[in-house]
Every structure is written in C-alpha cells, then in structure tokens.
Chain A
Amino acid sequence: MIDFWTEFLLYAIAVIVTVAVLARPIGAYVYRVVAVGPASASRWMRLESAVWRGLGIDPTVEMGFAGYARALIAFNVVGGIALYLLLRLQGHLPLALADRPGFSPDLSFNTALSFLTNTNWQAYSGDNTLNHSVQMAGLTVQNFLSAATGISVAVALGRGLGSRAEGLLGNFWADCLRTTVYVLLPGAILLALYFGIAGAVQTLQYDAVVHTVEGTVQHIAVGPVASQEAIKMFGTNGGGFFGANSAHPFENPTALSNFVQIVALLCIPFALTYTFGLQVGRPRDARLLRQVMLGLLVALAFLGGAAEQRNAVPSGINVSAAQSALQSGGLMEGKETRFGIVSSTLFTAATTGTSTGATDASIDSMTAMGTFVPLFLIQLSELTPGGVGSGIYTMVVYALLAVFIAGLMIGRTPEYLGKKIEATEMKLVAIFVLVTPALVLIGTAVAVLWPDALKSVGNPGARGFTEILYGYSSAANNNGSSMGGLNANTPFFNISLGIAMFLGRFWPIVAALGLADAFSRKRPLEPGPGTMPTSGLVFGMLLVGTIVLVGVLTFVPALTLGPVADALVTAGGTAP
C-alpha cells in the first residue's frame, strides 16, 4: 500500500521534474522568438513580412508605454466586442442548433469579459448551451489571444528592467503575433493530438447516440473538445467545453492525461521566469523568483491534500475514511475515483496557483481547509506560478515591494536588478497590489448586501459566504474556478463579476507596463555596499513573507467569516 504522504511526494516530484525539464528550453525559446524576435534574414521573418505588409504594420517600430498600452487595450476591447456579438447571435451562426439561442445580454457580457481576460469564469454549462462555432471561433480564439496578451506584457516588463533604450518597450503587435504563432499554436497542436489519442473527443457532431442495455436511447454530448482542451491548459485559461470541466472523461480521459494537464498548465508560467532571467541578464535572481513560486505552491498543495485525506467523517455516521490496506481513504465526495485525493488536490492547487481555474474535482465539496487552499492561492494575486505572463510580472511587482520594505526596515538602498526604486515605481506597485483586493472585498461586501443576491448561494452560513468571496476572488484575480454551489448566472453576478474581471486584468497590466517604462529610463547601477542581494536565501524568505503577509493582512477578516468559521463549525461535528 502506498500511503498518502508517499503518493503526494512521488506525484509532486514527477510534476516538478517534468516541468523543470520543459520550462528551461521553452523559456529560452520564448526569449529567442518573442523577446528578441526572429533574425531579419531568417525564413520565419520572410513569412512574417508578408503578414505585416498585409496588416500595414511595421514590427520593427518600438512603442513607448502609452503606445504599447493603448494597442493592447484596443486589441482586447475589439476582441471583447466580437465575442459578445458571437454569443448574442449564436443562433444565427453556422452549426447553429434550434434549441441553443443566443446568450442573454448579461451572460454574454460576463462570458465575453471572462474569456477576454484569461479568467474563463463560466456561469453556463458549455456542452448544452453553446454552439460549436462559438466554442471554436469565439472561446478558443480568445484563449490564444488572452494568453498572448499576458506573455506580451511579461516580455515588455523584462525589456524595461533589462538595459534597453529609454522608454521603449517593443512592439505589441509583433509580441502578440509571435507569441500566438510560434509559442502557443505549436504547443496547443501537440497537446491536442495527445488528448485526442488519450480519449478526448474531437468532432463537429453534437451528440453520440447510444443504445443502452436497458433498451433506451441516450444522447451523449460531444464536440471539438481536444483542440479546446489543449490551449485551455497551455494558456492557463481553464474554461472547459463541458460544464464538469476536467472531471469529464471526454475532457480529461485518464490519470495520465490528468498528469499531462497539470504539467501543461505549469509549463509556460515557469518557463517565463527563464525568459525574464535572460532578458535582465540575471538568471540567479530569476531562479529565486521561480523557487519562491514553487515553494509556496507545493506547501499549499500539500496542505490541501492533507485536509482531504483526513478521516473527518461527520460524527454519528458509522464509516471510516481512514487509509488502510482495503481502501484509499479520504473524503471522496466530489472527486473522481479514477484520480483520487492526490491527483485531485494537486490539480486544484496547480490550477488555482496559476490563473487556469480548471477543475477535476468539486471545490464546493471539499473541507473548509480544502476550500481555503485554492481560495488563498488565488488571493495571493496568482503568482505561484501565476498565469502565462501575469505570474512573472506579478512576482516581479512583489519583489519590488519586498525590496522597498527591506529598505524601510534596515536602511538598504531600494534597488532591484540594478535599477533604483523611487516614488513613481512605488506608486505603480501600490496600484498593482491594491486593485485586485479592493475589487474582491468591495464586490463581496456589495454582494452580501444586494437584494436577492443571497438567493444564489447554495449553502447557508459561512460556506455560503465563502462561495461569494471565492467568486469575486476568482474573478478579480482572473482565475475562473468557482464553488459550484453559487448560482452566478444572474444579472447582478454576471455584471459585477464581469467588471471585477476587466479591472482586475487591465489595471495591473497598465501598472506593469508603467513600471517597464519607468525602469527602462533608469541607468543601471553598479552594486554597492548598501545593495541588497536579491538572489539569495534571505531575500527569498523576505519575498515569501511579503507575499504571505500582504495576502493574510488583506484577506484575514474575510477569511475569518468564510473558511475559518466554516472549519470551526464543521470541526465540532467531525471525528478528529
């Protein structure tokens, strides 16, 4: 018998080793084809040139902060409108079904902003409400473009912190197109082929008709799943074809595909730390960021797994959830028996530590601690290792905050990667760090006071509050996972969560680009006696402390009303 601890350790090591093997070459590749760009005489560049001529864009023209930010926002705004129209008009599109009319305006608003912002919050069940044309031309396309947007911002920040020309961040159109075509498309194609081979369906039919042994006819939903699944994980998007997301056997067929999905969603966020290290010329500093990301993720994943493996059966029920030679044990409600506790909780931690938000188990069925783990991973601002692009630029912002706090405490010169940190940078860091908590806490407060909003809550008391808090945390931090007990398909939740997703995505992006601009204008400093090393253990501990303390201090009152109260209530009625 393999006990929980051994299984967790082996599984985690297998994931870490596989991601470590893949992340370095992917990071170097992103640096070469996106951050630097193909050589002007290369075959790729000749192909690209034709595209640029057709679009009327000169990719060699570098943009300043305002130009880069405006191009990024304009590109995304147009994408949002296009997706909204596709959702509203889906009944008139090719492959339309008579019983699947256009989404309501508020649900279209929510869904368009959700996929625009890499959140992929889903207040609907795609397999019985969406047409394939919208799944493919709308949602899957946005999965690529939102991921490319995030990576572009990360690359621009790397350029700013590296020693480059003053105030020039690169060309957004070139970054976005190269990320999509050279990075995301090849990875998604390979993964789609694997998922198809593993058993995920890929067809334009809507249902498979089967005759059961009882003699009845059953219609099983199918569709172009494998292709959507690939970019769903590789781009840390998370929006499933099926309502059951990665718990559905057509979307996540085997234990091996579950492992591949975890690896796929962790690859790019970790790879971009290598890209960043190459851009700023300080791989050891980037390695420290990567180690902090990994350490926090593993620690919280372990906490979640241990919480679900406990023999915490409500008192008065004469069963045991203890692990033994005859049963794997643990609290299996809402989990797939083919995955078990370790695969389910590691998957949950990985998708909430990144901005993916896919699920292969029901978060609302977990214990109070099991629910706290994904909630807190999201509330740490999505940096363990975070979304594609957003993970590294969020971690860099927290590194700046840690350096600044260290400077205040011990009189060190606040500088990071050889660039001095001054008032302008700290104002931008403050905007970045405060926007999402404000959206989460104000959104949750308004929701619990809003007439009729509490009718959407599936469970009364502390668990119901956690469902709402989880919803706004997930939306504002662009995660997209949810506690299934919350019926969020109401005008209030659709609109308010949509607003949280938009501002939680683009305000931090603008602040990150502002930081890139500010740093690009600074002359690199030589390390002096007052310079704090930012690649060693001491700074690593300071960074972990900063991340955890900011998260805890911001959210502890809300967490007390939610998962903490939930734990206290349920602890009274369960066996130890």
Chain B
Amino acid sequence: MDIILLLIYVALVGVTAWLIAAITPPRGRP
C-alpha cells in the first residue's frame, strides 16, 4: 500500500511539474 501511495504522490507531483513546464515562458521571450 505504501508503494501504491508513493506512486500516486509521484504522479501528483509529476502533473504539477508538467504544468510548471507548460506555463514556463520560452527562453528569450520579452
């Protein structure tokens, strides 16, 4: 169970990291 919950936690952090990456403006944008 601990492992399953760890995987869910990693997934939650992963989708949040994806959102950060999606919002991050491209380099050099004024």
**Bound Cα distance from A167 to B15, whole angstroms:** 23
**Bound Cα distance from A518 to B24, whole angstroms:** 10
Closest to A112 in B: B9
A70 touches B2 (CB 8 A): no
Which of chain A's residues have a CB closer than 8 A to the CB of B19? 431, 507, 510-511
CB contact between B20 and one of A66, A106, A167, A428 (< 8 Å): that residue: A66
A428 touches B5 (CB 8 A): no
A73 touches B5 (CB 8 A): no
B25 touches A65 (CB 8 A): yes
Q: Is there a chain B Cβ closer than 8 Å to A88's Cβ?
A: yes
Count of B interface residues, CB-CB < 8 Å: 18
B5 touches A499 (CB 8 A): no
Q: Is there a chain B Cβ closer than 8 Å to A506's Cβ?
A: yes
**Bound Cα distance from A502 to B1, whole angstroms:** 19
Closest to B17 in A: A73
Q: A481-508, CB under 8 A of B: which get 1 and which 0?
A: 0000000000000010011001100110
B17 touches A167 (CB 8 A): no
A106 touches B25 (CB 8 A): no
**Bound Cα distance from A88 to B3, whole angstroms:** 13
* Chain A interface category by residue count: 20 to 34
**Bound Cα distance from A513 to B24, whole angstroms:** 10
**Bound Cα distance from A503 to B19, whole angstroms:** 11
Which of chain A's residues have a CB closer than 8 A to the CB of B8? 109, 495, 498-499
A80 touches B9 (CB 8 A): yes
Closest to A167 in B: B25
**Bound Cα distance from A104 to B2, whole angstroms:** 9
Which of chain B's residues have a CB closer than 8 A to the CB of A35? none
**Bound Cα distance from A80 to B10, whole angstroms:** 11
Which of chain A's residues have a CB closer than 8 A to the CB of B12? 499, 502-503
Closest to A498 in B: B8
A109 touches B24 (CB 8 A): no
Given contacts A73-B16, A73-B17, A503-B12, contact A510 B30 (CB under 8 A): no
Which of chain B's residues have a CB closer than 8 A to the CB of A69? 20
The secondary-structure label for the interface of chain B is helix
A510 touches B9 (CB 8 A): no
Given contacts A499-B8, A502-B12, A517-B25, contact A106 B1 (CB under 8 A): yes
B1 touches A105 (CB 8 A): yes
Q: Is there a chain B Cβ closer than 8 Å to A77's Cβ?
A: yes
A105 touches B16 (CB 8 A): no
**Bound Cα distance from A428 to B8, whole angstroms:** 25
B24 touches A66 (CB 8 A): yes
A511 touches B30 (CB 8 A): no
Q: Is there a chain B Cβ closer than 8 Å to A521's Cβ?
A: yes
Which of chain B's residues have a CB closer than 8 A to the CB of A507? 16, 19
Closest to B1 in A: A105
B13 touches A65 (CB 8 A): no
Interfacial residues of chain A within 89-109, with CB under 8 A of chain B in the complex: 104-106, 108-109
**Bound Cα distance from A241 to B5, whole angstroms:** 26
Given contacts A106-B5, A109-B5, contact A511 B23 (CB under 8 A): yes
Interfacial residues of chain A within 451-507, with CB under 8 A of chain B in the complex: 495, 498-499, 502-503, 506-507
Which of chain A's residues have a CB closer than 8 A to the CB of B2? 88, 105
**Bound Cα distance from A502 to B11, whole angstroms:** 11
Q: A46-90, CB under 8 A of B: which get 1 and which 0?
A: 000000000000000000011001100100010011000000100
Q: Is there a chain B Cβ closer than 8 Å to A305's Cβ?
A: no
Which of chain B's residues have a CB closer than 8 A to the CB of A495? 5, 8
Which of chain B's residues have a CB closer than 8 A to the CB of A518? 25
Q: Is there a chain B Cβ closer than 8 Å to A514's Cβ?
A: yes
CB contact between B5 and one of A65, A77, A105, A166 (< 8 Å): that residue: A105
Q: Smallest CB–CB gap between A78 and chain B, Å?
A: 11
**Bound Cα distance from A129 to B19, whole angstroms:** 37
Given contacts A88-B2, A167-B25, contact A70 B9 (CB under 8 A): no
**Bound Cα distance from A4 to B24, whole angstroms:** 53
A73 touches B13 (CB 8 A): yes
Which of chain A's residues have a CB closer than 8 A to the CB of B5? 105-106, 108-109, 495
CB contact between A506 and one of B16, B23, B29 (< 8 Å): that residue: B16
Which of chain B's residues have a CB closer than 8 A to the CB of A105? 1-2, 5
Closest to B4 in A: A105
Given contacts A65-B25, A514-B23, contact A109 B9 (CB under 8 A): yes
Which of chain B's residues have a CB closer than 8 A to the CB of A498? 8
A65 touches B24 (CB 8 A): yes
Closest 9 CB pairs of A and B: A105-B1, A514-B23, A66-B24, A109-B5, A69-B20, A502-B12, A506-B16, A105-B2, A510-B19
B: residues with CB less than 8 A from A are: 1-2, 5, 8-9, 12-13, 15-17, 19-21, 23-25, 29-30
- Can you report 21 A-B residue pairs in the complex whose CB atoms are below 8 A from each other? A65-B20, A65-B25, A69-B20, A70-B17, A73-B16, A73-B17, A73-B20, A77-B9, A88-B2, A105-B2, A105-B5, A167-B25, A428-B23, A495-B5, A499-B8, A503-B12, A507-B19, A510-B20, A510-B23, A517-B25, A521-B30
A: residues with CB less than 8 A from B are: 65-66, 69-70, 73, 77, 80-81, 88, 104-106, 108-109, 166-167, 428, 431, 495, 498-499, 502-503, 506-507, 510-511, 514, 517-518, 521
Known: A65-B20, A65-B25, A104-B1. 6 other contacts (CB 8 A): A77-B13, A109-B9, A167-B25, A499-B12, A502-B16, A510-B23
